[in-house]
Structure formats: C-alpha cells, structure tokens
Amino acid sequence: MEQKRKATAERLGVPPELMPRHLAIIMDGNGRWAQRRGLPRYEGHGQGARTAEMISLRCVDLGIESVTLYVFSLENWKRPQAEIDALMHIYSGYLVSIRQSLMENNVRFVHLGRVDGLPASVTDALRGTGELTGDNTGMVLAMALNYGGRAEVVDATRDIARRVRNGELQVEDIDEQCVSDHLYTKGLADPDLLIRTANELRVSNFLLWQISYSEFYVTDTLWPDFDQATLEKAMIAYARRDRRFGAIHTEPSSRG
C-alpha cells in the first residue's frame, strides 16, 4: 500500500506525506443525474452504486488506506416508500456483487450505522460481506448505511454509560479517546479529506465527531459522473492545504 501511495504522489506531483490516508465521501446527485436524462430516480442510484465500486477500487490502486461512503442516512427514511424500496434492493444486491472484487483486492468491509429497521436482505448482506472480508489486511471500505452522526454519539454515550454502571469503566476514564473507541468507526483513523459532490455545502449529520479537522472538498460533479480524474483533483487540492490543527506555522509551508 505504501508503494502505491508513493507512486501516486509522484505521478500527481505532491509529497507522499501530503497524500490523504482516509477519504470520506458524501455521494450526492444520483436523483438529479437520472432526472436530467429523463430516467426514474432509481436508475441514478443504480449508476451511483456502480460509481461507488469503481471509485473504491481506484482508491485501492492509489494507496488509500480507508474510504467511508455515506450511503443512506437516518433522515433518508423520509423519502417516498417506492424510492426506499428501490434503494434497499440496490444495497442488498450491491453488497453481494462486490464480494469477489473485495476479496481479490484484499479490502476489508465494515458497516457504520444501525441495523434496526433495515430489511433482512440488507442486514444479511452487510453481515455476510463483513464476515467474508474480515481477515483482509488492505484498504478498509466503510459503508455508512442507516447512519446518523448524532445517533452515533448517542449510541456511544449509551455504551459508555452502560459500562460505567456495570463497573467496567470509571467516570474519570472518559476522555476523547474513550468516546472514539465507542463510535461505529472504532479502529479507523479520522478522515483526512471529506469530499461532497453535486455542489452541496453541508455535512448532513455525517461523521460529526470524526471530521473535526478534516479538509472539505466540494465539486459540482454529480456522483454518477464522479471519476478518477475528479478524485485526483480533490487529492491534489488537499495536498496544497495548510493543515495547522489550531497551531500557527512560523515557517513557510512546504506544500505546493
């Protein structure tokens, strides 16, 4: 993976240490993509799923360590039932269809979110894909499905409170690391770069804890049209950011 990162950095003309390791992507514009072509919205979601698989595999080739895709939020249950049913059908099929490529590319799949309320076909597919790829040691592909950032913090708080009540944890032990260890993303580094497509300018309840210091990149490209060139443009823009994490740099930045 490190060799791929170095090769990508050289090709893009950026220092290897300025390459993002964890990408988070809010995939917007599927419905608009379909409507502009006179197609039903579910066709846009189907094309978006194919784009998600393609981009995930490109990230493997680029040496990215983790990719988190925002697939379906808790708020998305407010959509028309017909669209929800179509989405759940797409998810269950997608999660099975990608298994071969995940195994061939040594990708480990993890689910972020709640399973309560999801159809059995989707929960079975999530569990099966996670178990099948659980021993893979390459890139991590995280799918935020039935996910909400506030709900994640609530669930983590409940877990911590339960452990305190059971005497497994002391109140004094609760710090930022403790909270992080009880989030859905336990074991994953925080995202370096958050990409949002379709020119939307909000975080939409996504990884609220984890993106505290993430760099944002917004493109007007609709998600089904997102490609490797657009991805690399975002990575180059990230490499040129001056990430201070609250500090002040007294020396000139080495970024291009």
**Residue 215 assigned ligand-binding role:** yes
Chain-centroid distance, C-alpha 8: 21
- Closest by CA to 24, choosing from 167, 180, 234, is 234
**Residue 30 assigned ligand-binding role:** yes
Catalytic residue, candidates 28, 105, 146, 192: 28
Largest CA distance in the chain: 59
Catalytic residue, candidates 76, 106, 136, 205: 76
φ, ψ dihedrals at 3, nearest 5°: -65, -40
Q: Are 114 and 155 in contact (CB under 8 A)?
A: yes
**Residue 153 assigned ligand-binding role:** no
Query: Residue 202: which residues within 8 A CB-CB, separation 6 or more?
Result: none
**Residue 203 assigned ligand-binding role:** yes
**Residue 173 assigned ligand-binding role:** no
Q: What does the alpha-carbon distance between residue 12 and residue 107 come to, in Å, rounded to a whole number?
A: 24
**Residue 50 assigned ligand-binding role:** no
**Residue 22 assigned ligand-binding role:** no
Q: Which amino acid is at 153?
A: V
**Residue 107 assigned ligand-binding role:** no
**Residue 166 assigned ligand-binding role:** no
76 in active site: yes
124 in active site: no
Q: Which amino acid is at 22?
A: H
- Binding site for Mg(2+): residue ranges? 28, 215
- Binding site for substrate: residue ranges? 29-33, 41, 45, 73-75, 77, 79, 196, 202-204
- Binding site: residue ranges? 28-33, 41, 45, 73-75, 77, 79, 196, 202-204, 215
Q: Please give the positions annotated as active site.
A: 28, 76
